[in-house]
Amino acid sequence: MSSFFLTTAIDFVNSRPHLGTAYEKITADVIARYHRLKGDDTWFLMGNDEHSQNVFRRAQEQGKAPLAYCDEMEQVFREVWRGLDISFNDFIRTTDQKRHFPGVQTLVQACLDNGDVYEGTYEGPYCVSCEEFKPEKDLVDGLCPIHKTKPEWIKERNWFFRLSKYQRPLLAYYEEHPSFIEPEVRRNEVLRLVEDGLVDLSISRAGQSWGIPLPNDPQSVVYVWFDALTNYASAVGYGWDDEQFARRWPANLHIVGKDITRFHCVIWPALLMSAGLPLPGQVFGHGWVFFKGERMSKTMGNIVDPLDAAKRFGPDPLRLYLTKEVVYGADGDFTWERFEEKYNADLANNLGNLVNRVAAMTERYRQGRLVAGGGGSLATLAADSASAYRRAMDGLALHEGVAAAYRLISAANEYIAETQPWSLARDPAHADRLSGVLHDAAEAVRIAAVLLLPVMPSSAAEILRRMGETTAPGDLRFDTATAWRASGERGILNAGALWPRLEDKGAITVSETTPGTPSPSSASSAAPAPSAASAPSASAPAGTTPHPVAPAALEQIAIDDFMKVQLKVARILEASNVPKSKKLVQLKVDVGEAEPRTILAGIAESYQPEQLVGRTIVVVANLKPAKLMGIESNGMVLAASPEGGGALLLNAEPAVPGTRVR
């Protein structure tokens, strides 16, 4: 029996999971369940990333101790995962002192022992505004590229990892293991990044308490990315259970978002190399699921709560949608309209109705008992589907795997139309033929259900039950379960609609939060949800989950602090795009001074220069000048910057330019 160890990224706990996060866990869960079905000794790890300053701040805002806050959030996350039927074997938290702390400290020590960690008495340029050391190569004319200020020459004690040393070993590794990074887009990106050269990385933060102390310098804590990456190893025993670690490590697959593939493809393997540990088999960078074509974000107010989508019929329709409709590795889109459309087509009309008609005819014509007959054309098709499915799933083409299962479902519907069991039933002479036809249809449905088991665990299990499968779903093994059964007797259960058809648009739409888009009533004419037996997880109390309350207490400043910032009314006299810049617009503004000022603003993606001339805006007048793209900017315009990008200028009532704003 081969073993398979897969992980997902661990999540920051500063807000509850949204559909995008759920997407990652659902697809990983499909993979995990598929491997269990194949009989692999599967270990599926998930967890929470808690040693982040964001998390620390979030806890403070809510007036809670960080750890207590993380405890609460763990429950929130676990509840969502439960509601989605995520079958993780283990859940690691980075605040786990028994498992994670020793893992991290052992890894630091191993890198230290190998001479790859050195103390950063390295006199480095440190940008106070960034609160970050600036690598020499990032400096522009000796200034911080972001703040255009002269970095301070600081000797703050800091520990660095010799990432630069691993450029060649990493490139060699990618060369030897072409599938280490998938899909190819991500691989290209990472190759390019590493070829450009790697800079040593600080792995410690001094003067912080929220984190894991360095073994060699307990006054400092391990930097959060080092801390987080180590979870994959610490969870399976690294640093505290050598036997388990030897058995499970290395991971076969890290499932991560495309935004963090680089951490997993560069830093993580370099750390492992340094520590002399085997490298994971593959890092897969999945895409994002957008909502109506837009990135989900809190500021956009278009977050979809995964449990909302699982509310009416359990998690399976959502799980099917996300695996079947999104090409795995590419970005996808979720809309309620599309979700309902696919629900009706794939579940109500196709699979659900198929199960129903087979069961109903068997009950009516054969009192629910079927004896295996001759076997027909469907058997070959079932075998083809199963092997196509397997090929797709092994290559992580989840969408193709599901498509293969659906080809079998369609074939079964066609088969019934061709053979017309209802006609056969009218003539007693065709009794044997009728038995054979019903059996073959049921057998095809059974095999399709086996293929769908990883995607829709509870629904597929229910279908198997109705098709007379006597083996418990968890005990089924791919090869034997997908083999055509040409002998034996089985009882078929006719138990009503699995997925009632949705007649009204918006029937399962719930609590859409997009501003300006009133959510349609969730009332509908559709029949009630299926029985608890068919979808045990459907009973998750989705609607009752307490949402963390919005922020209240931000860090407060004194009025004096605010007065240091000189805000002034300004009128835009000229505006032009900055050559070679995607975001910058060059402005000439009247701030009530003798000469107009030149100010650069990163709003080119939101405004055409023509739209800007004549506007009255607010600028920061006493900001140190900075040079951007070779042009000096003397101030800063105020604009709202939504998380998803773009900028919205703050317009002022036309006051005299130069008027103080406060």
Site for RNA in 420-439 (CB under 7 A): 420-423
User: What are the residue ranges of helices labelled H in 213-266?
Assistant: 224-229, 231-234, 242-248, 261-262
Q: Which one of 75-83, 189-197, 428-436, 543-551 is the stretch in contact with RNA (CB under 7 A)? A: 189-197
Question: Candidates 11-19, 473-481, 531-539, 618-626 — which segment interacts with RNA by CB under 7 A?
Answer: 618-626
Taking the C-alpha atoms of residue 98 and residue 89, their distance in angstroms, rounded to an integer, is 18
Q: How far apart are the first and last CA of the chain?
A: 70
Specify the amino acid at residue 362: T
For position 294 contacting RNA by CB under 7 A, the verdict is no
Provide, for the chain, the percentages of residues in helix, strand and coil under a 3-state DSSP scheme, each rounded to the nearest 5. Answer: 40, 20, 40
How many CB atoms sit inside 10 A of residue 654's CB?
Answer: 11
Q: Is the peptide bond before 178 cis (omega within 30 degrees of 0)?
A: no
Within residues 560-599, the interface with RNA by CB under 7 A covers: 580-584, 599
The radius of gyration of the chain's CA atoms, rounded to the nearest angstrom, is: 30
For residues 616 and 116, what is the distance between their CA atoms, to the nearest angstrom? 55
Residue from the set 132, 138, 590, 593 that interacts with RNA by CB under 7 A: 138
Query: How many angstroms separate the CA atoms of 434 and 427, rounded?
Result: 10
- Nearer CB in complex with RNA: 140/246: 140
Report DSSP state, residue 651.
Answer: B
In the complex, minimum distance from the CB of residue 105 to RNA, in angstroms, rounded to a whole number: 30
Determine, following the binding rule CB under 7 A, whether residue 148 of this chain makes contact with RNA: yes
- Kindly state the number of chain residues that form the binding site for RNA, as judged by CB under 7 A: 72
- From CA 291, how far away is CA 295, in angstroms rounded? 6
Tokens encoding 3: 């073993």
Q: Which stretch binds RNA (CB under 7 A): 199-207, 427-435, 539-547, 616-624?
A: 616-624
- Residue 293's φ and ψ, nearest 5 degrees, are 80, 0
The mark string for 59-98 relative to RNA (x by CB under 7 A, - otherwise) is ----------------------------------------
Smallest gap from residue 170 Cβ to RNA (A): 16
Contact pick of 199, 277, 300, 623 for RNA (by CB under 7 A): 623
Contact indicator for 315, 84 with CB cutoff of 8 Å: yes
Taking the complex as a whole, the smallest distance from the CB of residue 583 to RNA amounts, in Å, to 4
How far, in Å, are 102, 214, 596 from residue 227 at the CA level?
11, 11, 50
* Residue 149 near RNA by CB under 7 A: yes
Q: Count CB neighbours of 590 within 10 A.
A: 17
Assess 414 for contact with RNA (CB under 7 A).
yes
Tell me phi and psi for residue 62, to 5 degrees.
Answer: -90, 5
Part in contact with RNA (CB under 7 A); list of ranges 197-205, 491-499, 533-541, 589-597: 491-499
The sign of the CA dihedral 317, 318, 321, 323 is: negative
Query: Taking CB under 7 A as the criterion, which residues in 315-374 touch RNA?
Result: 325, 327, 330-333, 341-342, 344-345, 347-350, 352-353, 355-357, 360-361, 364
Q: Which of residues 422 and 474 has its CB atom nearest to RNA in the complex?
A: 422
Q: Cβ distance 451 to 404 under 8 Å? A: yes
Is residue 147 close enough to count as binding RNA by CB under 7 A?
A: yes
- Which residue from 154, 193, 277, 495 is in contact with RNA, where contact means CB under 7 A? 193
- Residue 184 binds RNA, judged by CB under 7 A: yes
Smallest gap from residue 243 Cβ to RNA (A): 40
Among 62, 89, 244, 410, binds RNA (CB under 7 A): 410
Range 232-261, binding RNA (CB under 7 A): 258-259
Q: Which is nearer to RNA, 185 or 655 (CB)?
A: 185
